[in-house]
C-alpha cells in the first residue's frame, strides 16, 4: 500500500523537478535522490512488516500466532467452495451454495500471502546472515 503511494507521488514530484530546475544535471541528481529515498522507504516498510509477522508467529498466545493462517485458510475454503465444490454440486444435484467473497477479502488474501512471503524471506535472510563467518 505504501509502495503504491510512494510510486504515485514520485512521478508528479519528478515532473515538478523537471519544470522547476533548469540545470539538467541537478534535476537528474534530484530525481535520482528521490528514487533512492522511495526505495529506501519501501525497504523499511518491508522490514517492518516482516518483523510484525515474525513477532506474531513467535507469540506465546495461540490466537496472536495463528490468526493470519486461520484467516488465509478461511478465505481458501471459500475459494475452494466457490470454484471447485459448488460447480460440481450444481452439475450433479442442481443446487450449490456460492459464498460471496468481497473485494476487501481478496485484498486480505493478497496482503496475507505477501506478508507470508516477506516473513519467510526475512527469516531466511536472518538465518543466512547469522550463519556467516
Report the domain count for the chain: 2
> Other C-beta atoms within 10 Å of 49: how many?
17
Read off the pLDDT band of 46 (50, 70, 90).
confident
Same domain, 51 and 34: yes
Instruction: Provide the pLDDT confidence category of residue 43 given band limits of 50, 70 and 90.
Output: confident
Pick from 63, 60, 73, 62: nearest CA to 116: 73
C-beta of residue 59 within 8 angstroms of C-beta of residue 65: yes
Q: Of the given ranges (80-89, 90-99, 105-114), which has the lowest mean pLDDT?
A: 105-114
| Count of CA atoms in the C-beta half-sphere (13 A) of 78 | 12
Q: Which residue has the higher pLDDT, 18 or 117?
A: 18
What number is the average pLDDT over the span 106-122? 71
Let me know whether 94 and 107 are in one domain: no
CB under 8 A, 24+ apart: contacts of 17-22:
none
> Within 10 Å of residue 43's Cβ, how many Cβ atoms?
11
**Residues 93 and 106 placed together within one structural domain of the fold:** no
Residue 67 and residue 106 share a domain? no
61 and 125 co-located in one domain: no
Residues 58 and 92 in one domain: yes
Q: What pTM did the predictor assign? A: 0.48
- DSSP letter at 81 equals I
List Cα–Cα distances, 27 to 9, 24, 35, in angstroms: 17, 5, 12
| Structural domain boundaries enclosing 67 | 1-98
Residue 73 above 60 pLDDT? Answer: yes
Same domain, 127 and 79: no
Amino acid at each position: 500500500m505504501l509502495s503504491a503511494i510512494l510510486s504515485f507521488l514520485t512521478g508528479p514530484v519528478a515532473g515538478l523537478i523537471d519544470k522547476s530546475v533548469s540545470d539538467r544535471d541537478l534535476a537528474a541528481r534530484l530525481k535520482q535522490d528521490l528514487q533512492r529515498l522511495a526505495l529506501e522507504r519501501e525497504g523499511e516498510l518491508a522490514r517492518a512488516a516482516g518483523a510484525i509477522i515474525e513477532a506474531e508467529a513467535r507469540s506465546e498466545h495461540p490466537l496472536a500466532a495463528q490468526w493470519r493462517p486461520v484467516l488465509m485458510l478461511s478465505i481458501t475454503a471459500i475459494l475452494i467452495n466457490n470454484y471447485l465444490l459448488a460447480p460440481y454440486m450444481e452439475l450433479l444435484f442442481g443446487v450449490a451454495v456460492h459464498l460471496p467473497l468481497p473485494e476487501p477479502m481478496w485484498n486480505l488474501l493478497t496482503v496475507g500471502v505477501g506478508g507470508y512471503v516477506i516473513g519467510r524471506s526475512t527469516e531466511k535472510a536472518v538465518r543466512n546472515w547469522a550463519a556467516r563467518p
